[in-house]
Amino acid sequence: MNYIEEAENLLLYYNDLYRSVENLNREIARLVGYQAPSLLNAIQLEETGIRSSRVEDTYNLLFEIKALAESKAKTELELKQIDRIRHILLATKRAGQKTEVFFNQAEGN
């Protein structure tokens, strides 16, 4: 396993991962807002108050929200791991230690 190449790839796409979390938050908020019950009007045609033509549409949107939430959780976990490794690397660099110490800490040894 090439640690340096893997670390370079993670750091290269760090900003993209961060932006993807923001996009996932916006998409989840949009879907939740779309699926929210509507206010009562003089004539209420929808039995449930939810704007969808069928129950299947509601299930599809709920599934999409669940999938987006899972993707967001995985991405946030990856970002936390990258932040932890960056913190260890900076602390190692400040202390003037060799990179072998960094890799041992990153692996949890």
For the chain, the domains span: 3-106
Higher pLDDT, 38 or 7: 7
Higher pLDDT, 17 or 34: 17
Q: Is the distance from CB of 92 to CB of 102 less than 8 angstroms?
A: yes
pTM of this prediction?
0.63
Which pLDDT belongs to residue 49? 54
